[in-house]
Chain A
Amino acid sequence: MEIPDYPNISEWAVPFYIVTMLVELGIGWFTGRVRYETRDTLASLVMGGGSLLAGALTAGAIGTVSLWLYEHRLFTFGFEPWWIVLAFVLDDLRYYWVHRFGHEIRWLWAAHIVHHSSQHYNLSTALRQTWTSFFALWWVVRLPLVFLGLHPAVLAFCGGINLVYQYWIHTEAIRRFPPWFEAIMNTPSHHRVHHATNPRYLDANYAGTFIVWDRLFGTFVPEDDAEPCRYGIVKSLGTFNPLRIALHEWVGIARDATGLSLRQRLGYLIGPPGWSHDGSRKTSADLKREHLRRHPEEAGKPGRPEVA
C-alpha cells in the first residue's frame, strides 16, 4: 500500500498567517473593529512558534505509538478521497471531544488554557498555542481512530487542515455569515463565544470545523449581540511572559495537589477547572448558577442552567 506524502499544513500556512494578520491589522486601523496590543501579540506569536517546535519534537514519539497501533487496526481504509473526507469528519468529531475534555478536565485544561489566556480576540490569538499538549496527553484521544483503521498520516493531514480552518475564525472583523453556513460550520461568531468569559458563554462551542457537534451534544450557545463577549480566562493573567503563559496552570496544579488526601489530589488533577477541596473556588457551573441567581430573568436562555 503506497502512503501518499501529505504536506505539513501547519508549516505551509505560515505565510498565509502573516499576510492575513497584516490585513486584519489594516482592517482594525480603518474600522476600529479589531484591536491588537503589541506585547499581547508578541506573546501569542512566541507561543505559536514554541508550539510548532514542541510539535516537531514530539511528533516522532506520537508517530511511533500510532504506527504500532495501526499495525493492529480493526479495518483498513484506503487513501482515496472519500476515505480522506470520512477521516476528516471523524477527526473533527475527535477534536470536539478532546477539546471538550480540555475544558472539563483540569489536567488537559492546564495545556489548553494557553490558547484562551489572551484578553484579545484576533488572528494572533489563534496562534497562541500550548507547548504541553504531549504531556497533557491530548494526542491519546486520536488513537481510537488509528485503531479503527485510519492511517496516522491521513489523520495528521486532516488535523492540520482543521487547525488552519480554526485560524481564520479568530477575528472580530467578520460579524456573521449566511444562516445556512452558521448552522453547519464553526464561524468567527461561534468561536467568539467559545473564547468569552461571560458566565452564559462559558463551556460552549467546542467545535473545530463543524459546529453541528455542539448542536448535537447540547453545548451550542449562539452569540447574543446584546451581550458582547469578554475574552480570556476567568482569572486573567497578569503577565506576558511566555514561560508563565505556558506553565502557570501546571504550577497551580502542583501547588494545589500537595499535602492532600489522594481523593482530593485527584480532584485537582482530573476535576473540572475551579474545583477545590474546600469549596473556596468556582467552576463554570458555579459561575453560571451564581449569575442566574443575580439575573433570574435569564433562566432557560442558551448557556444558562435551568435552575439556580
Chain B
Amino acid sequence: MDKTTFLLAFVIGGVGLVTLATVLLGWGRRVPLSGLQEAQDRLAIDLPDATVTGGIVADDGLAALLDLDDGRVAAVACLGDRRWTRILTGAGGPRIRGVQVSDEGLRIPLRDPGAPILRVALADADTRAHWAARLEA
C-alpha cells in the first residue's frame, strides 16, 4: 500500500471511529427546545434589543416562531444540540423564498446560504394557516 492510500484509509477509518463513538455515547440525538421560554432566551442572545410578544414552538420542538413587538417574525431552530436564529420578515428585504404548507407543517426556504431551510412541524391546520399568513404578509 502506498503512502497516500494508507493515509486515506487512516483518515476515513478515524472519521468513522470517532463519529461512531459519539453515536454510542448518545450524542447523535437532536435536542428539541424545552419550550417557548428557551426559544425566547436564545433569541435574546442574538438580538438583545428585540421584544418578543408571542410565538409558538413546533410540535417536534425543533423550531419556534416568535412575534416581535415591531411586527417582525423571528425563528429559533435546532441544529443537533445547538440552536440558530434568524429574522424572517421585516426590514432588510425578503429573507424567505415563500412558505410551503403541507399536512406536517411549514417548510420555509430561506435566502441564506448558511441556513437554507427552516421546517416548522405544525399539525394543527389553523395554527399553520395563521403563521403562513404572518410570514407571507
Contacts and interface: CB of A to CB of B under 8 A. Distances in A.
Interface of A: 11, 14-15, 17-18, 21-22, 25, 28-29, 35-42, 45-46, 49, 52, 119-120, 124, 230, 232, 234-241, 244, 247-249, 251-252, 255, 280, 290-291, 294
17 contacts: A14-B10, A17-B14, A18-B10, A25-B18, A40-B79, A40-B80, A46-B15, A49-B11, A119-B82, A235-B46, A236-B84, A238-B86, A239-B115, A252-B113, A280-B91, A280-B92, A290-B49
Contacts of B112: 238
Nearest 10 CB-CB pairings of A with B = A238-B115, A38-B28, A18-B14, A236-B84, A251-B113, A248-B113, A119-B82, A248-B114, A37-B80, A238-B84
B40 interface: no
B129 interface: no
Choose among A119, A230, A255 the residue with the greatest number of B CB atoms under 10 Å from its CB. Answer: A119
Contacts, number: 112
Interface string B1-36: 000000100110011011101110101100000000
A198 B21 CA distance: 31
Contacts of B28: 37-39
A241 B112 CA distance: 13
Q: Give the secondary structure class of B's interface.
A: mixed
Contacts of B82: 37, 40, 119-120, 232, 236
Given A41-B18, A238-B112, A11 B86 contact: no
Contacts of B18: 18, 21-22, 25, 41, 45, 124
B32 to A, nearest CB: 14
Give chain B's interface residue range (CB within 8 Å of chain A). 35 or more
Given A14-B7, A37-B27, A236-B83, A22 B114 contact: no
Contacts of A244: 113-114, 116
A175 to B, nearest CB: 22
Interface in B16-69: 17-19, 21-23, 25, 27-28, 45-46, 48-49
A251 B82 CA distance: 24
* Overall SS of chain A's interface: helix
B136 interface: no
B101 to A, nearest CB: 20
A240 B79 contact: yes
Contacts of B80: 37-40, 240
A35 B27 contact: yes
Contact of B23 (A38, A46, A119, A291): A38
B76 to A, nearest CB: 10
B121 interface: no
A49 B15 contact: yes
Nearest to B93: A280
Nearest to A247: B113
B69 to A, nearest CB: 17
A86 to B, nearest CB: 31
A294 B45 CA distance: 13
A238 B17 CA distance: 25
